[in-house]
Amino acid sequence: MIAKPAEFIFYPDTPCQLIDFLGGIHYSPEQDNGVIFNRVVSFFQNIITIIEKDKKMEHFKMTIHQNYHGFFVKIVENDTGPPSKVLNCMSCDLESETSKTSKLDYPLATKERFHNLWIDAKARPMFVITPIRHVERLSECTEEEIFSMFLLSIQTLEEEQRISGKNGMINFISFISMTLNHGNSRNLAHLHLKIRLRRNDFKYYMNNGWDKAKKEKYAILESRFRPSIFSHFSIFIKLFSNNHNSFSTTSITKMKSYVQIFGSGTVDVPPAILVHFDNQKHSQRYLFNCGEGTQRFCLQHKIKASKIKKIFFTRINWESFGGIPGMLLTLADAGVKDIKLYVETHEFQEDGTEFKDENLFIKTIFLNPENITSPAAPSSSSSDRVDIPEKRAREEENEYDPTLKYKKEILSLMFNLSSRPDDPKLLITKKTKTQTREEDTALDIPDEDINEKKSDDKKYLDQRRRELFPKRLPKSIPSSTSIAYICKGPDYKGKFDPEAAKALGLLPGRHYSELVKGNSVTTADGTIIHPHQVIGPSRADVPSTSYINSIYESSEFVLYQSGNKDLQPRVIVHMLGNGVLEDNRYQEWMKKFGPETERIMFHSTATSQFKLSKIDENQFRIPYYSNEPSKQLNLVPNIPKNTKFAIPLLIYQTEPSFKIDESNLPNIFNHNDHDSEIVSSLEKMDEYLNIATEVRQEVANISNISKDIPGKDIVVTTLGTGSTLPSKYRNVTATLLTIPNNGCILLDVGEGTYSSLTRHLGKHGDKMGIEKCLYDLKCIFISHMHADHHLGLTRILSKWNELNYKNDNAFIHLIGPPRLWKWLDELSDVQDFGISKVKFIDCRLKNIASVEVIHCPSSFGISFEHLDGWKIVYSGDTRPCDNLVNVGENATLLIHEATFENDLIEEALNKKHSTADEAVQIGVRQRYPKVPTFQDDNGRIAVSFDLMQTTIGDLYKSSKYLKAIKVLYSEDSEEAKDYDGSWFLVWKFILSQINFVRELAGLPKNSTQLHKKSQSINSSPNSPTQHYHIQQHLQQL
């Protein structure tokens, strides 16, 4: 027999409503004289004393119920085990500038205490009241907090009733219950009073009491989440307590800080580290470098990117900052509307420049190759120290400099720094006749009459953006400088020991108080007691051996080397290029830091693919990987002890103790190890393995039906099939076409494409490895300028250039919107990635036709027609449209998007994507590779996955494999349950053999009319199909 959980019910001495028990809506402390206050506080304190001390209950729910007879308090012990794992603290979130709560900061009422909106842990409509400071139990609250929390609850409900016109009986405030969860009963880290309402009451308050602005702000928040999952919201109410600073030091948790490895220099994520500080007021993350793939790394490992407040770069190249655009988009998509401090956009000007905030003190050291001198210091500077958020010292600016004015206006328009048409900060006059520099012609800005500006702010800003953004940014000079950072953590208060203080001659009182606050005190015999100072981490980026002399000879490091124990670094993170670790000079420099210093060295979807490979190991190839480091430390002589290679998610803890923490490291993937978790779990999937064997045999029994198909040997590899943002299972958009004996074509290049290519093809030992692929890459097509379609282009071009920069005859052709070329041209000022070699090269293509499609401005689909007779059409992002239908006649292969499922037709219309029904009844959610039911009697359709590879001739096999794939990714499978929390819908490729373009667009085979669902909305662009013939040498870039 299962024992029932313990349950207790408490009644006030005299039956009454809660509103009367608390002294009424208009409670006045002056009129009360402490009677009501003491009655309320003692009632709840007595309950807690009985439950926690007498009954020894730690995990329970305290619930207040009421009816027309009065209210009562019910206590139920929690026997259901621990709650769902939610790490955030309500109070800290409410106070933090970068918290999830402040991202959703939409005022819902005039009073400040009502100004935060949130979603309940179980998505239920309710009001929630929480103290400002972090407390976890009612017994930790002050008397004022206890009374105010319950009084504010009825005041909140009374105000909602009043403004909605639903007053009812003023002495009866309607609610289902008020709940305070303790211990494991709580799903959030902070104590919070939840006021549950009847659904109709909540809806009535919203419909009748909220004004238009309030409803619109609520709708904005609601639109960010799937209605079927998060259909209701809660209102968090700040409880302002006059005594929120007067709490016992025993409730304070000491700050936790550590250094965590992000990227370790693999093809997936370039070297990057995260410095983490956690405390109540200044919970912050500092990211050093943000290369391509960083945002996907955060999503895969559930790291809150929204907590990152400042980002530092060790070099100005794509390997260091290529992930910034995607990271900012991730933050924006997560709901961050006011990004103020996530990235500091200032530059350090000289050696020794300092950055300082409440957590870190950082000094910069510039490192240069042997043939480069240090960067020139500013001609005038008031200070070489930088305090954030205060403004850094800068040179005096020439108010007539057109380049500077142009940059300022671009920034002001990008971030709406000023929106007044008559704001002089936004006005830039045309350059004078005396300015004759040729490069200034790109900065001409037409004269404007301020008095003639009568349009509203938004119209003005839109106009200025159109005028300015088509211009090229001023030329800049690439930098080869690398930056090392010396980072000093904050001073921590030691644990106060009264007995030790007494032994030293200190008396209780002022000295004890000063010690608790972290201040030094002097004992009677003159002994000084003060906080312990901590240094770490230091960080050095040495790209090649030519930088060694610069770091070896730098005087800035001398202070922190052996001989000065107080300033000895706890950890140094080295980011090393080839040959640096083996160099005697660098080894000698490493040894100058004492033996206690730890050293971490950087040297430059497998599970899902492994399971799919059981269907077809050629179509679903296991990604290339190695569990062995490229260099063995034990083979490098003279390396100091306490040296360790960086591993993703490795942590070096700096507070409360110094140690390396490997507890977060992921399991090593090894598909050949039958004892590994992944292999053993697959062996238990009997149904899937049986069906996989069945479909393999079925395909083997089918005679080759592709022998007469043109281009049957063309290999189609879907490198990324995700939409907008990467997810655990799907990267953003990219498709590789490999044409035997002719080369390769890339269709869109989302962030991380190079990583996907390398994982799919391998670095060495394969006839079609990554280097061979890059050598053979002839053409890249970018459909439009959305980030998920082109942010991987720079790294691809850079790697291609590394292989071909000595070959004067090597060129690559790029097709894309006009702004793509301007973006690359400006980026080439910062880093040379071979833009001079971006041209047209013959791929034996008979014809290329790009057509405008229905998405954002300058969005294109494309058709490739080969001399051998095959034709491939690629849609890019689009609604079904006539242009694509017309250019796709008689296509051998169509690659079409299907971002939204059928029930999201309105969202597809609004965002100009296609639904599954409009794209051959196939749709997929990005959170996991689920495969919906659809009809494909002719075997003409294939569902694509990341790193899937098939030839046109083998597409018939893919339709047979769907039977097994549906079992693997069924609703009840572990794969379906194991999602990353992202609720964005996926971009999905549909590979369709035969002439299926008209059907895909929802058309009869002989019709040119659009599907009637979208007929009235989706008029095709007026511009005609643009045909480019090979013999005319393409000029479109």
- Whether residue 380 is predicted with pLDDT greater than 60 in this model: the reply is no
Q: Is the pLDDT of residue 860 over 80?
A: yes
Question: Which residues contact residue 196 at a Cβ distance below 8 angstroms, ignoring those fewer than 6 apart?
Answer: 124, 126, 175, 176, 177, 178, 179
How far is 80 from 723, CA to CA, in rounded Å? 39
Highest mean pLDDT among 94-108, 872-886, 918-932, 1017-1031: 872-886
Q: Where are the alpha helices (DSSP H) in 301-401?
A: 318-321, 324-333
Lowest mean pLDDT among 2-11, 43-52, 64-73, 124-133: 124-133
Split at pLDDT 50, 70, 90, the class of 842 is low
* pLDDT, averaged across the chain: 66
* pLDDT tens, position by position, 952-989: 777 777 777 777 777 776 655 555 444 332 222 222 33
Q: Above 80 in pLDDT, residue 804? A: yes
Structural domain spans, the chain: 7-249, 402-468, 695-1005
User: Is the model's pLDDT at 24 over the cut of 70?
Assistant: yes
Q: Is the pLDDT of residue 87 over 50?
A: no
Please write the tens of the pLDDT for every residue from 181-228: 888 777 666 788 888 887 677 777 777 777 776 666 555 544 433 333
pLDDT in the model for residue 361: 77
512-555 tens-digit pLDDT: 566 555 566 666 666 665 533 223 445 555 566 676 677 766 66
**In the prediction, which pLDDT does 630 show?**
56
Return the number of other C-beta atoms located less than 10 Å from residue 609's C-beta. 20
Residue 758 has pLDDT above 90, yes or no: no
Q: What integer pLDDT is reported at residue 690 of this predicted model?
A: 81
Q: What is the reported pLDDT for 79? A: 63
Q: How many CB atoms lie within 10 A of CB 827?
A: 16
Q: What would the mean pLDDT of 144-167 be, rounded to a whole number?
A: 80
pLDDT digits (tens, 9 = 90+) for 165-192: 765 544 567 788 899 988 877 766 678 8
Highest mean pLDDT: which of 21-25, 397-401, 473-477, 606-610?
Answer: 21-25
pLDDT in tens, 468-487: 555 666 676 777 777 778 77
The CA distances from residue 918 to 524, 856, 894, 915, 1014, in Å, are 85, 19, 14, 5, 10
pLDDT at position 687 is 75
Closest by CA position to 301, among listed 324, 342, 267, 269: 269
Task: Report the pLDDT averaged over residues 683-692.
Answer: 75
Q: d(Cα 892, Cα 507) in Å, to the nearest integer?
A: 89
> Given this model, what pLDDT does residue 604 score?
43
pLDDT beyond 70 at 15? yes
Mean pLDDT over 119-144 rounds to 72
Lowest mean pLDDT among 299-303, 530-534, 856-860: 530-534
pLDDT of residue 236: 35
- Predicted pLDDT at 824: 86
Residue 72 reports pLDDT greater than 90:
yes
Q: What is the pLDDT of residues 246-264, one digit of tens each?
A: 222 222 234 477 788 776 6
Distances (CA, A) of 872 to 498, 738, 918: 79, 12, 19
Between 639 and 451, name the one with better pLDDT.
639
Q: Give 891's pLDDT tier (boundaries 50, 70, 90).
A: confident
d(CA 121, CA 191) in angstroms, rounded, equals: 13
**Could you tell me the CA-to-CA distances from 217 to 156, 785, 907 in Å, in that order?**
19, 29, 19
Q: What is the mean pLDDT of residues 418-438?
A: 38
* Listed residue (193, 150, 192, 169) closest to 36, CA to CA: 150
Strand partners, 539: 485, 573
pLDDT over threshold 80, residue 302: no
pLDDT at 43: 94
When comparing pLDDT for 241 and 485, which is higher? 485
% of the chain with per-residue pLDDT over 90 = 3
The pLDDT tens digits of the residues spanning 988-1022 come to 334 443 333 333 333 333 333 323 323 332 333 33
CA gap 779, 1036 in Å, rounded: 12
pLDDT at 84: 52
pLDDT at residue 913 is higher than 60 = yes
**pLDDT score of 513:** 61
The pLDDT value given to residue 340: 42
pLDDT of 73 higher than 90: yes
Q: Which pLDDT band, with edges at 50, 70 and 90, does 373 fall under?
A: very low
**Per-residue pLDDT, 63:** 94
Give which of 1001, 836, 971, 943 is closest to 620, Cα–Cα: 943
Tokens read off for 190 = 């902070």
Q: Are the C-beta atoms of residues 625 and 759 closer than 8 Å to each other?
A: yes
For the domain made up of 695-1005, the CATH class stated in words is: alpha beta
Provide the pLDDT for residue 525.
66
Q: For residue 159, give the amino acid letter.
A: E
Measured between alpha carbons, how far is 88 from 845 in angstroms, rounded to an integer?
56
Per-residue pLDDT tens digits for 440-477: 333 333 333 433 444 456 566 666 655 555 566 667 67
Give the pLDDT band (50/70/90) at residue 119: very low
What DSSP character marks residue 548? H
How many angstroms separate the CA atoms of 192 and 135, rounded?
9
